[in-house]
Structure 1
Amino acid sequence: MENIETKELKTAFYATFSQGFFATLTFSMFMVNSPILFDLIDMTKTEFSMGFIIFGICNVITNQLTTRFLLPKIGSTNCLIIARLLYAFIPFSIFYFSSYNFFIFVSMLWGISIGIQAPNIFTQVAIIEEKTKKILNPIFKSSFNFGFLLGAGISSLCLGLEIDPVYTTFIVGLFVFISTLTMYFFGLNMKYDVVNKDPRFSIPNYKIIMFASINMCIIAFMGIIIQWSPLWLVTDLSAPIFLVGSIVIFFNLGEIISNMFASKLITKLGEVIVGPCFAMVGSTILVLSIFSQNIIIIFIAITLFGMLISNVMPIVFRQAVKNSQNPIPVTISHVSSIAFVGAIFGPAVVGISAETFGLTFNMYALGVIMFLIALLMFFIMREDKLVGVEGIEPTPPK
């Protein structure tokens, strides 16, 4: 029979799950509608990438400040409420005002809001994992996939019906805004928060830097799918407009399927197989499918790619907490801050590459880069005996 604490933590996990879902729902709707934005404000791919560079810079700075000053004062759940309120109407405002200067401005605001959210949301998951002794990170990651999936589906449908993105983003934004009530009533109680009593900035150890760098590269280059695949489908593969969000949909569908079975897979096969080994196979499948230039084959390959790389980031967070001597919030802040550096240089590299070599080249590059990232992770995890399958067993809160 469940005790009161177990019920509280279970409910809190669902609330934290909803936070991840709504964050990616709004982002996905913006990205799938981005081909229309190019026409509205007549910007280049490089100019579009500049918004994401600014997003990344604001994200990293806010991430560090939040963990050290905002979280100890108001708690992780209140931080998540503030973040959701901030980004709820950002996609709507971009399409409504249709101005490049405004796009740059709200990119700053978006970066700040996700900078507030990122350390708190992953800290909550780590705390709940530690207290329940369950593997929850892969399941939590599926919240992002559900958000991307629904956002891409709604946007593709509305584009096919020729509904103005201003209307769809406003309705969804209103829903996201109201949904903050779920965090207010059911979010993680402040008594469970692990407070960092020493706000001084610290340098993470070698292992944390290496694991965080893996996530940094993933964030830097996975934008090729999230940012550029809608445009790639329409321009290079001549897909009809109603298929514009298909790659985002199939990729996230594959990740959801994998995340649902991640705990059992890790228990049976171990994290080295489920993480880097699966990712290397998925990357190879992606590259081979692009050679075909066949939309159906690419859709199947993207689904398999999503399934096989989906557990890399959750495993990175688990290993980082295990290998850190710092309190959980500080460790998560280190990992997420370094990871989101990828959002600073990634868009610039990808944008310039798209302008110079084309979007198809970027898709090939994604497969090759993910293979190399997985190979690096394989060697890091083989270096020592790392966290086992029995649970996360993080360093006790200090």
Structure 2
Amino acid sequence: ISADAQKYKIAAGIADSMDKRCLYMALHHKFRRLHQDQTARVKQANADVDAALLAISEHIGVLKATTALEKTTLKLDAASVHGNGNANNNIRIQLNPTTGNQELCTAVSQLTEISAGHANIKLMQLKEIKLSDIKNLAKNLFDQHVTLTGLSSCKQAAGYTSTFTTAITSCQDTGGSGLTATQKPTTPSYTAEPAPLFKGDDPSRDCDQAELTKGDSLDETKNLQHHLCKALKAHSVTVNTPTGLNGESLKDDVKLRVDVRNCVPALNGVKDTNNAEHNKAVVEFIKSGYGTDSIKFETNIQAPLSTMKASVRTASQTEKKEINKIATEEEATAALSDAEGIRNTRELEAQKKSEPIATADQKKVEEKCKGKPQGECKDEDGCEFKEEKCQAKVTTTTGTDGKTNTTGSNSFLINKAPLFLEVLTL
């Protein structure tokens, strides 16, 4: 889209007629607007995907940390770090964490282990996903217990059903007490819950978790749910390239109608390009200029891009190139600036031809009047005091040849014919 917009702009710059220049410039504006719109959509889609990837990475990090943490167990510190701090009714026991070898779950090597019969992930069919709530990850850790040894007289009871107070009340130390920590062998329950991504499980509808949570209501799991939905929607974002262009379709483009009306002098009088009664001339210009079908559009607009040559003037050399072969931004700007320079040169030449040419007599009068004070600036001398200074008086009478304006002794010779031709060729 950007490349097409650039080609149309170059074509407008070197077009050999005003109508063609306006037709190409209107297309340039249309494609430029489309590019800006598509760029914003793609930028937002990329931002949604990036946010989802970051949220997924964070969630994976939490899960990995959980699987590492669940191996952690406790052991009695063998160093001299225990005691009662001069108290006679308690004892502090120092326990240190250590890494065990009991796995929380078995690593998955292929997708069929998660869902039989599904060897590949079909993202666009994803409607819900199981997510582990960070607030519940503690439930994924193994339960642990410690065992005190070297005791006697403890009340015996089958199993492990007593409170700590009941279990230790009658116990006595026999010397050589010890303490060991053990992880419970039973694997914790799986805490992940299915999280719907779309309303009604319909990808065409809004996200089930419509907004991100913040502040006191921050919920990382819900935010991940939101980001995943937005990323899947972004995956379906496509760039809409115009197809089947012709005058019949382009006449309905309200912005293009404005561009054409503003560019073509003959259409400047159209008051409202959206009013069917007023815009008939604009509509007809668009239909005839672009062609009423795709074949005529190709003939009128696209095909010339392969034959129109722009002057690509870089720092030290100039090369004529077909518009379709101008590939780089540097070449495009060189072609556009050179085309503008050529147009400016033509305007300057036309301006020079239209400037009044003072006759020899006029120059004498100008010298005579120059610098005189107001009292000496007299009409009979061909002078007049104007704009706070004395200057040659100009009177105009029109000659009969239709080409020159004569002014007696104070005359300006203006050649109209070359100026008119120059304007036609601009």
More strand by share: 2
Q: TM-score, normalised by structure 2?
A: 0.19
Q: TM-score, normalised by structure 1?
A: 0.20
More helix by share: 1
Larger radius of gyration: 2
